[in-house]
Every structure is written in C-alpha cells, then in structure tokens.
Amino acid sequence: MNSIHPFPSPTSTPTGTRASRGLGVVVFLGMVLLTLLGLFFTDEDVVQGSTVRLMYIHVPTAWVAYLAFIVTALTSAMYMWGKQHSLTFDRIAGASAEVGVIFMGLSLVTGSLWGRLTWGTYWQWDPRLTTTAFLFITYVGYLAVRDLGGSHQQRAKRSGVVALLAVLEIPLVHFSVVLWRSLHQKASVLRPNGNVTMDGLMLFTLLFGVGVFTLLFTWMVLHRQRVLALADAIDDGGLEAALQERRNENN
Amino acid sequence: MDHVQFIVGGYVVTFVAVGVYVVRMLRQARKYNSAISDGDKPWR
C-alpha cells in the first residue's frame, strides 16, 4: 500500500532522476553558503548598514521571477509556433509561471521589509513597486487562465497568448525607476556605464545568490513540469475511461 | 547586527515559502505516480 508522507524525501520522488537529485544537493549546499555569506561573512554597507543583507535574497528572487516569466513566454511561443505543438513546452510554461509567481511574491515581501527599514514604510505606490505588484497579479491571472478547463491544447493556446502579452510588462517594471521618479534605487550592477561600486565580497555574494536561485528555479521547474505531465496523463486516462464507458453504453 | 527580526525574517519567509511549495509539489508527485504507468514518465 502506498502512503503519502507529510515530508517526502526528495531522493525518492517519482519526478526525480540522478541528475535532478545531484542538482538538488548543489542547490541546498549553495543556499546554506549564501545564508552564511549574507548574514555573517559580508560587511555592513556604509550607508544602509546591516539592512543591505536583505539584498542577497531580494535581488535573486526578483531576478528569478523575471527569468521565469521570460521562460514562460519563450516556451509558449515554442508551443504555438513549433511544428509538433508539443505540450511539454506548455507544461514548462505553466511550471515556470507558477515558480515565478512564488518568487515575485517573495520579492515583494522582502522588498517590503527592506523598505520598512530604509524608507520607513512597508509600501508606497511608487512606480517600481506598483508595476511589480501589477506584474505579480498578471501572472496570478495567467495561472487562473490555465485552470479554466477544456482540452490540454485549448489550455496551451489560451495561456500562450496571455504569456506572450504579459511578458511585455517586464521592461516596464525594470525601467520604471528610470522612466519615472522612484523611491526605489536604480540598478547597482547592470549600469549603462558598467561602473559597479560594490565591495568585492558583497558583489560576489550577490552574484552567487543570483546563481544559486537560478539553479533552484531550474530544479523546481524540472520537477513541477513532470508533476504537470503526470496530472495531464491522469486527465487523459480519465477521458479515455469515460469514452470507453459511453461506447459500452451504446453497444 | 541591527534589525535582526526584519533581516532574518526575510530569509526565513523566503526559505519557508519555497520549502512549503516543494513539499506540496513532491507530495502531489507521489499521489499521481501510483495512478500512472512508467510508460507515461519519459524521464524514467
């Protein structure tokens, strides 16, 4: 008899492979190292003091959310314009959007905590914050559109159109600090003049965080799209059983 | 370190949220797995 444990071991999950298990171990160790670097080993900032430690998770979560939504758009396009209209692309799009929503939400929460310490408030209707919240809500909507029902192909086409439109919001969010007057600081690393004014270990920790969170995103999407494949196979099986039952009734 | 509750809270919220999502996902995988043959798992 199969039992579902409250905390299943990632090493024995049905969606795991040898490669994904190896990736999972690397991600776990990377997260431990990032936490140690972010909380203990890096220096405090001259201006922001210890609050800069929130940067090492706030920036990577925002980066992963952007990446996730871009992957959703690209794989949606690959489904729509690919010769075989492979549902694997649609499932990667759905998995990536789901993970992106989690990280966008976390970026809003960690940004809100950081804002409380530096600006004195958890929330302001500032251009960057407002456009980010709008992006978050848009992708919650995308996930709702995926759940509207119909065949897998209908789901893929419908959500693919939404994904290709929604991704256009990302440049608006990213450049909102340049286009409008914003409380949020401008880019610290990806500056147009290429001049990075950040201490060596701080910069390393930030880039390391971005790398580790990108690997975490890869691991999560890999597993999630396989879970979605299992769910689709169950749906197909249920549909086939219903059709067979109808055929038997007619005979 | 100043503002420990905000800073550590940010890390804790992040890791707990990701952990809850991952545990739910893996539980769902186990649940679906029993109903599906290995032929429907191309990664196997």
Tens-place pLDDT, residues A86-117: 999 999 999 999 999 999 999 999 999 999 99
Contact across the interface for A10 and B26, Cβ inside 8 Å: yes
Number of domains in chain A: 1
Residue A92 inside a domain? The answer is yes
Instruction: Check residue B2 and give its pLDDT.
Output: 80
Question: Alpha-carbon distance A161 to A166, whole Å?
Answer: 9
| B27 vs A4, A49, A233: nearest CB | A4
A230 to B36: CB separation less than 8 angstroms, yes or no:
yes
Q: Give the confidence band of A2 by pLDDT, cuts at 50, 70, 90.
A: very low
Domain for residue A213, yes or no? Answer: yes
Residue for token digits 């509207």?
A: A148
Residue A211 forms part of a structural domain: yes
Query: pLDDT tens for residues A161-192?
Result: 999 999 999 999 998 888 888 778 777 666 66
Contacts of B15 in chain A (CB under 8 A): 31
Helix/strand/coil percent split, chain B, to 5 = 75, 0, 25
Kindly state whether residue A227 falls inside one of the protein's structural domains. yes
Indicate which of A1, A3, A4 best probes the interface with B, i.e. most B CBs within 10 Å of its own CB.
Answer: A4
For residues B16-37, average pLDDT: 91
Whether A42 is covered by a domain: the verdict is no
Q: Which residue has the higher pLDDT, A243 or A76?
A: A76
Q: What value does the mean pLDDT of chain A take?
A: 89
Q: Which residue of A has its CA nearest to B31?
A: A4
pLDDT reading at A245 higher than 80: no
Query: Is there a domain that residue A225 lies in?
Result: yes
Chain B contact set for A44 (CB, 8 A):
1
Q: In this structure, what is the dihedral angle of CA atoms B32, B27, A22, A222, given to the nearest 10 degrees? A: 60
Q: What Rg, from alpha-carbon coordinates, does chain A have?
A: 21
* Contact (CB<8Å) A113/B41: no
Name which of A44, A54, A106 is nearest B17 (Cβ-Cβ). Answer: A106
Which candidate from A44, A54, A230 shows the least CB-CB separation from B10? A54
ipTM of the prediction greater than 0.90, yes or no = yes
**Within A37-124, where are the H helices?**
55-81, 87-118
Q: Choosing among A51, A92, A136, which should be mutated to test the B contact, i.e. which has the most B CBs within 10 A? A: A51
Domain residue limits at A129: 74-183+198-232
Residues of B in contact with A38 (CB under 8 A): 11
Question: How confident is residue B23, by pLDDT bands cut at 50, 70 and 90?
Answer: very high
Q: Is residue A172 part of a domain?
A: yes
- pLDDT (tens digit, 9 = 90+) per residue, A213-235? 999 999 999 999 999 999 998 88
Does the residue A61 lie in any domain?
A: no
